[in-house]
Chain A
Amino acid sequence: MLRFILRRILQAIPTLFGISFLSFAIMTAAPGGPTAAMKLDPHLTVKQREAAADRLGVNDPFFVQYIRWLIGDDWKTYETVDNDGNVVREKGENKGILRGDFGRSFTYKMPVVDLIKEKLQPTAELGLLSLLVGFGLGVPIGILSALNQGGKFDNLTRVVAVVFNALPAFYMGLLLILVFGSYLELLPMGNRCPISVSGECSLTDRAERLILPVFTIATGFIAVLSRYARAATLDVLNQDYVRTARAKGLHSRQITFRHVGRNMLIPIVTLLGPSIPGILGGAVVVERIFSWQGLGRLALEAVTTQDYPVVMAFVMFGGVSTVIGYLLSDIMYALVDPRISLDAGAGRS
């Protein structure tokens, strides 16, 4: 097991390099650059804008920027000439990501790691809860639907399970806000906690504010998981031993829970791992419409303002959590299905 994990981590290294290189290349190719917005601020003189660009190092060639981002520049000394004509020597300040320094956000002038840390909790709260709801509703719906294949319930769930997922998230979010927040005045229209000076925020307060956004996100999971569960259940029902069990007159519910339940876990477990990075990546649309300060919005803003350090940290974070997600998935796979041995069965990349 340990050897397997170790090997997977080693395998992930070239992937992570690829991710960083690819996204850095795309980012720097984009027009404008992080000083574009600054260019339209008439308070700044031409000189200041140039100085700002120099300070951010965005005028350097691509490879210089990329390597500085990787290994830092604290071993380098910069020489600049100040207003009085004196040469000023300054040491570089970046350690580079290989030493755990993701730099500071161009926009917010604060360490990127702190920025991401701040946003992670709201995002995780929303995402994990949605995943839980998605599993809780999607899997039973799928199983029942399969047991009833072709019947009324099956057809009904085939529509109901995906109908909410068929609407764009921002549209559904808005409709929910209009109906439950504005018209019925049943639920608050956004934010994580009640708006107050005291800052009191009980569990009920939080739950109340989670209902609509969680529902909006969970519909996606429900749609996917119910389809998975349905297909998996059909597979199992068609296995010889289950048919035999049925022929022997075992009650269908017994069959379901004894045989189907366990076998179904396999495909679902494979799904769970890969959905973790998706969740941690945040749901930018839902975060926006429900006034949720999560990672998704931070990342979107960083991309549009070309705040490279934030984008790159975010992409790396996504890469690492994907690797971990697949790893977890494989481990769970082995736990659920004893026929699979980890050391031999690393076929999936």
Chain B
Amino acid sequence: MSESRIVQLTASDITMDEQRLDASLWQLGLRRLRRDYLTIAAIVVILIIALLALLAPVISNQILNVNYTKTSRDIFLPIGSAGHILGTDDIGRDYFSRLLYGGRVSMGIAFSSAVISILIGITLGLISGYYQGGPLKIVDDTMMWFITTLNSIPTLYLLIILVAAMGGNSTSVRSSVSLSVLSLVLILSLLGWTGTLRLVRGETISQKNREYIVAAHAIGVSTWRIMFSHILPNVFSVIIVSLAIDIGNLILVESTLSYLGLGVQEPTPSWGNMLTDAQTFFTRGLHLLLIPGTLIGVTVLCLYIIGDGLRDAFDPQTVKK
């Protein structure tokens, strides 16, 4: 299932109207959004979770005075134990602080991979679209060949092959961000940009022969400037909308990789590896399984709802009415 999700829920599934989005549309969109209580609720929930995760070091070091990697003989302490709000895990580590750090890692991976892949997609899309049909169309052809190739390999397997190939999930004692997290971000961002590329490329192609662009060209405005100032704003809203959904999907991908033993490795916590580990000892405390599972579920659900809500609000197709 997850592989079909990865394939299908990308930026390209949102169609884009050619018409430029002007200021009034933005205002209209915001007004619509304000009436969409479901989306607003989702945004609030996400902000709270993100804030807690961001403040993980402060909360656990300063407020609670616990170390999220410190093992102890007090294993499987129940919820509400002294010094451990949510008890401890199977080797006596504080569960609450691990959840906070885990959220930081899971959301951090998802957010940065999504952003990086969108940046890659925009850049290559502009280049590809610009050269399409011109004298240097080999650039575009190569790019299109490359992404067709990439899209033809089932994503999860490409992912697994890459993770296995990059192997070195080395974690270091000193650095708080382990190498495995970095390589995972790298791999995930290298896989997710094809949808954005198609979108930006299409937009670039449709815009570049418009009269105003040709005119701008004639008075000597640089091509790149044209592309950035005229083409990018058109696709931007669609990309931003897809960002929320992409982040949600990537959180799921991270946990799936953990289940397959290819995700973030101990001692770095992530929601995915905490959930996977909890499977073996959930009879010692159901909360160990339910809490990370619910956190993933709620976060992803909110991101989906936000993506949907933003599209409803800002997609010119629906705004036109």
Contacts and interface: CB of A to CB of B under 8 A. Distances in A.
A168 B296 contact: yes
Interface stretch (B47-55, B92-100, B157-165, B209-217): B157-165
Which among B3, B146, B260 has the highest number of chain A CB atoms within 10 Å?
B3
Interface in A207-255: 216-217, 219-221, 223-224, 227-228, 231, 234-235, 238
B46 to A, nearest CB: 12
Contacts, number: 180
B149 A30 contact: no
Contact of B154 (A155, A163, A281): A281
Given A30-B167, A170-B259, A220-B5, A319 B275 contact: no
A18 B146 contact: yes
Given A285-B259, A300-B260, A22 B305 contact: no
A171 B304 CA distance: 19
B38 A158 contact: yes
A234 B14 CA distance: 13
Nearest to A28: B165
Contacts of B153: 19, 22-23, 315, 318-319
Interface of B: 1-5, 7-9, 13-15, 35-36, 38, 144-146, 148-154, 156-158, 160-162, 164-165, 167, 248, 252, 255-256, 259-260, 272, 275-276, 279, 293, 296-301, 304-305, 308, 311-312, 315, 317-318, 320-321
Interface of A: 14-16, 18-19, 22-23, 26-27, 29-32, 130, 149-150, 155, 158-159, 162-163, 165-171, 174-175, 216-217, 219-221, 223-224, 227-228, 231, 234-235, 238, 267, 271, 274-275, 277-279, 281, 283-286, 299-300, 303-304, 306, 311, 314-315, 318-319, 322-323, 349
A303 B293 contact: no
Which among A31, A166, A284 has the highest number of chain B CB atoms within 10 Å?
A166
A14 B148 CA distance: 10
A155 B305 CA distance: 10
Given A130-B1, A169-B1, A285-B260, 5 more contacts: A18-B149, A150-B35, A167-B293, A168-B275, A223-B5
Contact of A285 (B148, B256, B275): B256
Contacts of A29: 165
Contacts of A271: 8, 13
22 contacts: A15-B145, A22-B149, A31-B167, A166-B301, A166-B304, A167-B293, A168-B272, A168-B293, A170-B279, A171-B293, A171-B296, A221-B4, A223-B304, A227-B13, A231-B315, A235-B317, A238-B317, A271-B13, A281-B156, A284-B3, A284-B156, A319-B153
